[in-house]
Amino acid sequence: MNTADTPSQHLSRSDLQAMAYTDPLTGLGNSYTLRDKVREIAAERANDPAPFTIGLANLDGFKPINDLFGPEAGDAILCQVASRLLACVPDGATVIRHGGDEFAFVLPLVFERKAAEKIGALLKEVLSAPFDLGERTVRLSASFGFAVYPFAGEDFGDLLKSADTALYRSKRRGRGQITVYSREIAQEMKRATQLEQALRNAIIADEVDVHFQPIVNLKDDSVVGFEALARWCDADLGYVSPAVFVPLAEERGFIDTLSEALLRKAAEAALAWPKELFLSFNLSSAQLMDPSTSANVLSIIGRAGLDPRRLELEITETAVMTDEDVAQKIVTELRAAGVRISLDDFGTGQSSLGRLRDFSFDKVKVDRAFVSRISHDRSSEHIVKAIVAMCDGLDLEVVAEGIEDVSEALKLKALGCGMGQGYFYGKPVDAVATMRYLATKYATREPGSAAGG
């Protein structure tokens, strides 16, 4: 048996304690350091509880970079993050590697929200500069959550939980966000979680409904199709706006489940319409990042028995920009199967003309922001006129959204816009009311007979 002393036997108690409190990769303190530092400052200020702040920072998009370039590159980035944070935190602050790609700070001289936000903005800027990996550089952003003692918690566990809640809210809002915990934010997060659970249950119970808004040919006001719109009325919560529950489903990662349930319902309803009418349906940004989306869509309408040539999918420019290569592949596969693709909210993105050049669309939808001002704002009128002329040259159909009165409808007709939708032509209604609407339209067939609303 080898009786030689191990290296640890030569280390003093203080050395061993230092090792227990140090992150071996970055040399920063670890989660034990964070806990003890917070308790130490809280104890010092027990008789006169002056505020102090703790913060958490999480690197956005670190995992894909770590997977792509390997763990050594990931470690190099984490060490550079540690160096940058140490170099720019205020005097007296402590920087900690909290685990993985998450860092923490204890800020004894940051007493309130604005000061915490200012520190967050500085750290965010510092971490946005390129990271050097030898032959290449990469860029990352970071999300931040702060909690101020004693308002966000008087003991370590509560304070850390509050900072974590603030960080989670930042991550939900997108990359590079900064949140300081407040009771209002805690309530908002609690409501969102309750709403999420209710929505998940509603999807399982098939209680999220689809309503349909008519799209008309502006030459004679005849119906050419319907846009499917999600609607949800919960037994306890009442009516919940799609502007609330659709983004929530995207943020919490189950928009594909919701969207597939809605598409199935919409496709089944469309089977009862005259065969020349199309169904327009919105794809989310999450679906445009999933390579299996085209197969899923075609499978759903295939099971329902809807001809792909009767389906039109609306996508926004923002959604396309998230992952252009995957979005391009999805669009190409769907168009090859006969599905038509429409660019929604045209004119509100950052580079709409580039999208028209790089992607194959069948139709453009003019955003209601222009349509609502077309009767009294010459700039909006000229923009719509230019869009119509451009689309005509590119052999793209045009739909004006949000037509609410006769003056807007007449102005769009005069400009040569091909199609339109809005309350003037009909509000979104359920499948049964849509059939009644169609029965009325097909019974009269009178040009110009709009179903006002």
Q: pLDDT of 80-118, one tens digit each? A: 999 999 999 998 999 999 989 999 999 999 999 999 999
| pLDDT score of 354 | 64
| pLDDT score of 448 | 39
| Beta-carbon contacts of residue 90 (< 8 Å; ≥ 6 apart) | 107, 109, 110, 119
Residue 120: is its pLDDT beyond 50? yes
| pLDDT score of 1 | 45
DSSP for 148-205? EETTT-SSHHHHHHHHHHHHHHHHHH-TT-EEE--HHHHHHHHHHHHHHHHHHHHHHT
Q: Considering 158, 181, 204, which residue would you say is the last residue of a domain?
A: 181
Of the two residues 207 and 5, the one the predictor is more confident about is 207
**What whole-number percentage of the chain has pLDDT above 90?**
62
Residue 127: is its pLDDT beyond 80? yes
CA atoms within 13 A on the CB side of 213: 21
CB 420 within 8 A of CB 363: no
| pLDDT score of 253 | 84
92 and 199 share a domain? no
Of the two residues 18 and 307, the one the predictor is more confident about is 307
pLDDT digits (tens, 9 = 90+) for 430-452: 999 999 999 987 765 544 344 33
Domain span at 347: 192-444
| pLDDT score of 250 | 86
Mean pLDDT value across the chain: 88
385 and 352 share a domain? yes
Residue 412: is its pLDDT beyond 90? yes
Q: How many domains does the chain fold into?
A: 2
Of the two residues 229 and 71, the one the predictor is more confident about is 229
Contacts 24+ apart (CB under 8 A), 167-171: 167/56, 167/57, 167/58, 167/143, 169/145, 170/143, 170/144, 170/145, 171/58, 171/60, 171/143
> What Rg value do the Cα atoms of the chain yield, rounded?
28
**What whole-number percentage of the chain has pLDDT above 70?**
91
In a domain, residue 415? The reply is yes
Residue 221: is its pLDDT beyond 60? yes
Most confident of 31-40, 132-141, 438-447: 31-40
| pLDDT score of 373 | 85
Residue 4: is its pLDDT beyond 70? no
424 band by pLDDT with thresholds 50, 70 and 90: very high
| pLDDT score of 119 | 95
51 and 200 share a domain? no
| pLDDT score of 186 | 86
Residue 53: is its pLDDT beyond 90? yes
Residue 123: is its pLDDT beyond 50? yes
Most confident of 168-172, 364-368, 383-387, 433-437: 433-437
Q: Considering 124, 155, 181, which residue would you say is the last residue of a domain?
A: 181
The answer, as to whether pTM is greater than 0.75, is no
Of the two residues 66 and 409, the one the predictor is more confident about is 409
316 and 414 share a domain? yes
Buried b (16+ CB within 10 A) or exposed e, 238-267: eebebeebbebbbbbebbbebbbbbbbbbb
174 and 61 share a domain? yes
| pLDDT score of 239 | 94
80 and 106 share a domain? yes
AA letter at 90: P
345 band by pLDDT with thresholds 50, 70 and 90: confident
167 and 296 share a domain? no
263: enclosing H helix or E strand:
helix 255-270
174 and 300 share a domain? no
Most confident of 168-177, 190-199, 373-382: 190-199
Q: For the chain, how far is it from start to end, CA to CA, in angstroms? A: 91
Of the two residues 61 and 228, the one the predictor is more confident about is 228
284 and 387 share a domain? yes
User: Domain with 72 in it: what CATH number?
Assistant: 3.30.70.270
CB 277 within 8 A of CB 221: no
161 and 310 share a domain? no
For residue 115, which phi and psi values (nearest 5 degrees)? -65, -40
In a domain, residue 99? The reply is yes
Mean pLDDT of 144-168: 93
317 and 391 share a domain? yes
Mean pLDDT of 329-341: 95
153 and 262 share a domain? no
242 band by pLDDT with thresholds 50, 70 and 90: very high
pLDDT digits (tens, 9 = 90+) for 190-210: 888 899 999 999 999 999 999
In a domain, residue 340? The reply is yes
| pLDDT score of 64 | 80
